[in-house]
Structure 1
């Protein structure tokens, strides 16, 4: 076995209906229950369903962490249609996805709004899953600079006095989201190495994930340049969750569970 830990997560966005979400969460919970890597605590898997499914998903998916797909940039008050970090924490949510490329592009979220949302999450004991990534294909150095600047814009102020708080950064190059193939592994490794080198002193408990058409083999190809994956539509089939969980287990030196008879 290795001392390495791997984090996997996924957001269901608005793809599933309510009952479909709960069936999926139950199926994945069964897969995780059979994983030796999960049992030892070396592998963590989080799920971000739509808001209406959060309370029941928290129950079904326990003890694994559940994330919200967004959070209000304000404390509870007169904000129609918003959901506060306080309420999310109250119902058992443990993480919050913030700053996804779709929120930036479709809803005009700014760096300032994203920073405020991170501050709200942290103030209520929630772990931000901060989504970052360059909008267009450029050089490795240019991509790393965009990622570092986005992380600092979102987290530098909220974590000024508590740099040891855990944060998850999901690096998803925007041009690779939904693509048929992920970005080349050597490019992602190089970008993540630069990002980690620059950020490790400022954020002592930073978990770096890769997203963007990630699937089986991606984790192996990226090696220890990342701490895990933020998975997309590929895992809508629970059997594909099992494939990635088994791959992570092998990388961690854990035995692969025997197939059900």
Structure 2
């Protein structure tokens, strides 16, 4: 597994140009060797490109179309995002699946479009509270991963996965670190069995009420390649603390020192 941890912030439908400026100011003192990105609403992408270009902080989008071009009013293609210097794009976030009815197939097509445009899709997967209570977490994850494997084939090795237990998002209570490690191990086993991808090939982030207080414990788990941060990514100081924790864990894993 790559010792470098990855931190992705998802601003959702929040943020402003002044807030981006505050992030740019703090990012000048960002930890080295640990990639991080803010995924902001579409209208803020030009400002992100301008304000963050001279910093180590990358920028990304929160969704892209499953189509490349055409009569799709309101849609934004991955190719358009690439023209704004976007590095990452989140697809399949649980709110998109629930509120917009996105299917596993649509999510997989979006990931394919992102890869074709030279972007790295951050593909969200996870189980609902009902699936968890019925002890169907592994089945839910298998269903989502199988669709990705069928659509992407070996290209699945180029994506980033984000495990989000849907019931934990916005609750303020992250999954216990040991359970996160166990679930990530299940995902790695599914990838090996159904896609032929050895453990560590696909980075698996954890998302679900990650904050500055619990980030170090979560990032310290062996199976966790990074975090997808929601509400805590809106405050520059909190995001920087999580970024620092990720850089610290990366150095420990690589043996560079504490």
| TM-score, normalised by the number of residues in structure 1 | 0.84
1:46 aligns with 2:37: yes
What residue number does 1:14 align with? 13
**Deviation at residue 13 of structure 1 after TM alignment:** 0.8
Q: 1:206 aligns with which of 202, 208, 211?
A: 202
**Deviation at residue 251 of structure 1 after TM alignment:** 2.1
What residue number does 1:29 align with? 24
For 2:250 and 2:110, the matched residues in 1 are separated by: 34
Give 3-state SS (helix, strand or coil) of 1:209's partner. Answer: strand
1:105-254 alignment to 2 at 5 Å?
Answer: 105-136=98-129, 138=132, 142-153=136-147, 155-164=148-157, 166-200=158-192, 202-203=196-197, 205-222=201-218, 223-253=221-251
**Deviation at residue 141 of structure 1 after TM alignment:** 6.5
1:156-176 Cα deviation digits (max 9, x unpaired): 134325354x21111111110
On the 8 A contact 1:135/1:174 being kept in 2, the answer is yes
Q: 1:65 to 1:35 in 2, by over 3 A?
A: closer
**Deviation at residue 217 of structure 1 after TM alignment:** 4.5
**Deviation at residue 178 of structure 1 after TM alignment:** 0.5
**Deviation at residue 33 of structure 1 after TM alignment:** 2.9
For 1:97 and 1:197, the matched residues in 2 are separated by: 23
Gaps of 5+ in 2: none
Give 3-state SS (helix, strand or coil) of 2:150's partner. Answer: coil
On the 8 A contact 1:163/1:202 being kept in 2, the answer is no
For 1:163 and 1:99, the matched residues in 2 are separated by: 15
Give 3-state SS (helix, strand or coil) of 1:169's partner. Answer: strand
- Report the RMSD for the aligned CA atoms in angstroms: 2.5
On the 8 A contact 1:55/1:91 being kept in 2, the answer is yes
Q: 1:148 to 1:33 in 2, by over 3 A?
A: farther
Give 3-state SS (helix, strand or coil) of 1:229's partner. Answer: strand
- Aligned residue pairs: how many? 245
What residue number does 1:90 align with? 83
On the 8 A contact 1:132/1:147 being kept in 2, the answer is yes
